[in-house]
């Protein structure tokens, strides 16, 4: 708790408007990107970089905003060559940092031409923006992947004049202002490096633009690209719900920090699935049937809400330690419980306020989140703060040993914690105030073009106190440093609900389980399995772990019958109230063994149950404004 405070009190609050290129103090780099070979998964780029004789140090963007980690895909930077006045130049990589390139510039030269290629993953690779991004029909272009920038300047101070050639017949969408476009040749207005990297381009054969606002700026639109035309035709009411999302976010925050917002939504089974926030757009990617299939839609309903909230919480208001001057300086992730945790909570409630989820679906989602966190014995050694502090590594942790290692829990656990904050504000103010008031104060007026206002732990506590006086420092210190044993369920309980279990899975639970290709018995015997029986995780202290089963093993048979999800579920049901153990035949590193599970409590699936002793604040929280 002292380290948390000592780390933040010295930081300054900085407010400035980003990227007015006319005022930029640094060099102007021109960048011509040729994406016509995107279906072959190779992107070509040429740069013209001002230089002086001697060593020119160039950086390939390493720490990417929103990814909170050194994920710049330098291994996919290929075809790198430099020239001046038609002669090839010598270059060598820095021995201590693979993202730094030193080029020898001869006397008399004032400009270096760089040629480079970015090679896309050739098979489906998950991950963030460096995961799969190109198919036969579409491409998400992240500018940071196709550029180098000179050392010695902030990204705000370097101007880039970019152009992009896209495959014939493809359309494009981006928040980057266009100066002129001629067919598949697009030229963009000069922008700071900051705003260029913050403005990816979605280009595709099948791309649909849906306006989400009417009337004056700031406006918003949904740009959806897919591998097929059919995937772009959900029922009309789906578009209406995304219109609601813009209205509801406007009502929540009271002001916008963008000129025009583009939801860039990619529907493909051949790209990485994730969402990445920007000031004036988001790069969100789900499966091809993500809009037209009802189940897929339900499971991914909160993605665009989450990324949209980031325009306020994460881009405009950003922890001081994440607001680095360029992509080379490491980021400090200790306040991700605000950056990501509050975004996850607000994204979820806006999903319900926009009717993208029904209140029932919201509660089914929340029950899953709470039950999952209530079965994380890793909190015994790692507190919530450490999940944020170690985020740059934890994002890339395998699923094996998930519950003992802990994951990036500052998303889900802080959903519960910010709900708790919402409940406390409502109680302390006798119903006059809510977390919405915090959002207006912290993220709202005056609004305008993209800006950045940094904050510290103190600023969060002070603004909460402005909304409703309370021991917020004590609240957050406890939430961030305690070791459980269980999940923080106070928010659910104070909003009038309880986490309970019965023998019937919710729709959301079963859909989510199938979508993961897994079999979930976490809350009964403590097993999370692949569909074919491979053990992904065993929860320390629960029946399967105590019997001797561990991640990496494979369940071959249940009570003598070949393993399947149904066979396991049936065996757990049948053992209820008996004294006969469930027998699992398990393969481990070529050896077979039988393990006996003495578990007799039957199936357990999480639900939220109404607590009539308390007012139903949750239903108020979820109501459209
Ligand atoms: Zn996020």
Is the distance from CB of 474 to CB of 32 less than 8 angstroms? no
Taking the centre of ligand 1 as the mean of its atom positions, its distance from the CA of residue 69, in whole angstroms, is 13
Taking the centre of ligand 1 as the mean of its atom positions, its distance from the CA of residue 279, in whole angstroms, is 13
Is the distance from CB of 492 to CB of 614 less than 8 angstroms? no
Is the distance from CB of 89 to CB of 115 less than 8 angstroms? no
Neighbour tally for 254: CB within 10 Å? 18
Q: 48 φ, ψ to 5°?
A: -120, 110
- Nearest one of 55, 73, 52 to 63, comparing CA atoms: 73
What is the three-class DSSP state of 399?
coil
- Nearest one of 430, 493, 437 to 465, comparing CA atoms: 437
| Rounded Cα gap, residues 127 and 131, in angstroms | 5
Taking the centre of ligand 1 as the mean of its atom positions, its distance from the CA of residue 453, in whole angstroms, is 18
Taking the centre of ligand 1 as the mean of its atom positions, its distance from the CA of residue 299, in whole angstroms, is 16
CA distances from 13 to 194, 310, 325, 456 (A): 19, 19, 14, 8
| Rounded Cα gap, residues 529 and 553, in angstroms | 10
Alpha helices in 548-608 (DSSP H): 565-574
Taking the centre of ligand 1 as the mean of its atom positions, its distance from the CA of residue 314, in whole angstroms, is 8
Q: DSSP labels for 394-422?
A: HTT--STTHHHH--STTTHHHHHHHHHHH
Taking the centre of ligand 1 as the mean of its atom positions, its distance from the CA of residue 86, in whole angstroms, is 45
The pair of structure tokens assigned to 519 is 């079999």
Taking the centre of ligand 1 as the mean of its atom positions, its distance from the CA of residue 415, in whole angstroms, is 12
The pLDDT of residue 416 is 98
Neighbour tally for 482: CB within 10 Å? 13
**Low-confidence stretches of the chain (pLDDT beneath 50):** 1-15, 19-22
Taking the centre of ligand 1 as the mean of its atom positions, its distance from the CA of residue 371, in whole angstroms, is 21
- Which strands sit side by side in the sheet containing 149-150, from one edge to the other? 91-93, 100-105, 54-59, 149-150
| Rounded Cα gap, residues 367 and 390, in angstroms | 26
The pLDDT of residue 9 is 29
Taking the centre of ligand 1 as the mean of its atom positions, its distance from the CA of residue 350, in whole angstroms, is 14
Taking the centre of ligand 1 as the mean of its atom positions, its distance from the CA of residue 341, in whole angstroms, is 8
Strand partners, 162: 31
Taking the centre of ligand 1 as the mean of its atom positions, its distance from the CA of residue 332, in whole angstroms, is 16
Q: Is the peptide bond before 218 cis (omega within 30 degrees of 0)?
A: yes
Q: 34 φ, ψ to 5°?
A: -115, 105
Length of the chain in terms of residues written: 625
Is the distance from CB of 150 to CB of 169 less than 8 angstroms? no
Taking the centre of ligand 1 as the mean of its atom positions, its distance from the CA of residue 160, in whole angstroms, is 27
- Nearest one of 154, 172, 137, 199 to 59, comparing CA atoms: 154
Q: DSSP labels for 139-188?
A: EEE-GGGG--EETTS-TTT-EEEEEEE--TT-EEEESSPEEEEETTEEEE
Strand partners, 33: 45, 164
Is the distance from CB of 514 to CB of 623 less than 8 angstroms? no
The pLDDT of residue 216 is 75
DSSP annotation of 120 reads P
Q: How many CA atoms lie within 13 A of 537 on its CB side?
A: 27
Is the distance from CB of 449 to CB of 17 less than 8 angstroms? yes
The pLDDT of residue 206 is 98
Taking the centre of ligand 1 as the mean of its atom positions, its distance from the CA of residue 224, in whole angstroms, is 20
Which residues, at least 6 apart from 105, have a Cβ–Cβ distance to it below 8 Å? Answer: 51, 52, 53, 54, 55, 56, 84, 89, 112
Is the distance from CB of 296 to CB of 289 less than 8 angstroms? yes
Ligand 1 is an ion; its neighbours by CB within 5 Å are: 340
DSSP annotation of 447 reads -
- Quick one: 104 exposed, middle or buried, by C-beta within 10 A (0-12, 13-18, 19+)? middle
Looking up tokens 């051949």 gives 270
- Which strands sit side by side in the sheet containing 518-521, from one edge to the other? 518-521, 527-530, 535-538
| Rounded Cα gap, residues 588 and 82, in angstroms | 53
CA distances from 536 to 327, 365, 509 (A): 35, 22, 18
Taking the centre of ligand 1 as the mean of its atom positions, its distance from the CA of residue 564, in whole angstroms, is 35
Q: CA-based angle 82:86:90, to the nearest 5? A: 35
Is the distance from CB of 486 to CB of 375 less than 8 angstroms? no
Is the distance from CB of 442 to CB of 319 less than 8 angstroms? no
What is the three-class DSSP state of 606?
strand
Secondary structure percentages of the chain, helix, strand, coil, to 5: 30, 30, 40
Q: Which helix (H) or strand (E) is 609 found in, with range?
A: strand 605-610
Q: How many CA atoms lie within 13 A of 624 on its CB side?
A: 12
């Amino acid at each position: 708790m002292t380290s948390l405070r000592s780390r933040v009190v010295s930081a300054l609050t900085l407010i400035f408007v980003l990227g007015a290129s006319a005022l930029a103090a640094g060099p102007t780099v021109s960048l011509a990107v040729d994406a016509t070979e995107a279906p072959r998964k190779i992107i070509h780029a040429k740069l013209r970089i001002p230089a002086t004789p001697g060593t020119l140090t160039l950086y390939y963007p390493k720490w990417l905003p929103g990814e909170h980690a050194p994920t710049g895909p330098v291994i996919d930077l290929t075809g790198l060559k430099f020239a001046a006045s038609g002669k090839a130049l010598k270059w060598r990589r820095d021995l201590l940092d693979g993202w730094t390139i030193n080029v020898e510039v001869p006397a008399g030269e004032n400009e270096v031409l760089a040629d480079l290629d970015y090679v896309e993953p050739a098979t489906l690779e998950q991950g963030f923006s460096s995961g799969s991004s190109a198919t036969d029909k579409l491409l998400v272009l992240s500018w940071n992947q196709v550029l180098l920038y000179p050392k010695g300047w902030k990204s705000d101070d370097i101007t880039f004049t970019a152009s992009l050639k896209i495959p014939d017949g493809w359309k494009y969408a981006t928040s980057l202002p266009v100066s002129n476009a001629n067919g598949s040749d697009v030229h963009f207005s000069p922008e700071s490096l900051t705003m260029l990297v913050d403005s990816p381009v979605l280009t595709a054969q099948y791309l649909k633009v849906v306006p989400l606002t009417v009337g004056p700026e700031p406006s918003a639109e949904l740009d959806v690209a897919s591998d097929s035309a059919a995937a772009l035709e959900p029922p009309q009411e789906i578009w209406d719900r995304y219109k609601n999302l813009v209205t509801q976010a406007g009502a929540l925050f009271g002001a916008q920090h963008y000129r025009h917002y583009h939801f860039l939504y990619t529907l493909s089974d051949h790209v990485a699935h994730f969402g990445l926030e920007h000031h004036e757009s988001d790069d969100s990617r789900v499966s091809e049937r993500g809009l037209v299939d009802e189940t897929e839609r339900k499971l991914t309903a909160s993605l665009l809400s989450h990324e949209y909230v980031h325009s306020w919480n994460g881009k405009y208001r950003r922890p001081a330690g994440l607001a680095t001057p360029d992509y080379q300086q490491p980021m400090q992730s200790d306040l991700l419980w605000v950056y990501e945790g509050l975004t996850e909570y607000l994204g979820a409630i806006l999903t319900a306020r926009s009717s993208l989820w029904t209140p029932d679906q919201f509660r089914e989602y929340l029950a899953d989140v709470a039950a999952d966190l209530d079965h994380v014995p890793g909190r015994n050694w790692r507190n919530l703060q450490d999940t944020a502090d170690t985020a740059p590594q934890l994002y890339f942790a395998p699923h094996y040993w998930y519950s003992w290692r802990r994951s990036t829990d500052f998303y889900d656990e802080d959903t519960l914690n910010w709900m708790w904050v919402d409940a406390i504000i409502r109680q302390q103010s006798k119903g006059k105030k809510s977390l919405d008031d915090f959002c207006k104060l912290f993220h709202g007026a005056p609004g305008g073009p993209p800006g950045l206002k940094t904050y510290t732990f103190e600023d969060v506590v002070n603004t909460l106190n402005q909304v409703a006086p309370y021991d917020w420092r004590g609240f957050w210190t406890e939430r961030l440093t305690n070791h459980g044993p269980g999940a923080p369920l106070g928010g659910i309980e104070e909003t009038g609900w309880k986490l309970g279990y019965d023998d019937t899975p919710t729709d959301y639970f079963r859909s989510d389980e199938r979508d993961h290709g897994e079999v979930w018995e976490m809350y009964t015997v403590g097993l999370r399995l692949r569909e074919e029986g491979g053990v992904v995780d065993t929860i320390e202290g629960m029946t399967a772990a105590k019997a001797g089963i561990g991640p990496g093993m494979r369940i071959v048979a249940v009570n003598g019958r070949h393993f399947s999800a149904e066979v396991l579920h049936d065996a757990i049901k049948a053992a209820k109230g008996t004294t006969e153990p469930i027998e699992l035949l398990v393969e481990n590193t070529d050896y077979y063994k039988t393990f006996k599970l003495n578990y007799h409590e039957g199936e357990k699936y999480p639900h939220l149950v109404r607590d009539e002793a308390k007012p139903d604040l949750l239903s108020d929280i979820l109501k459209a404004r």
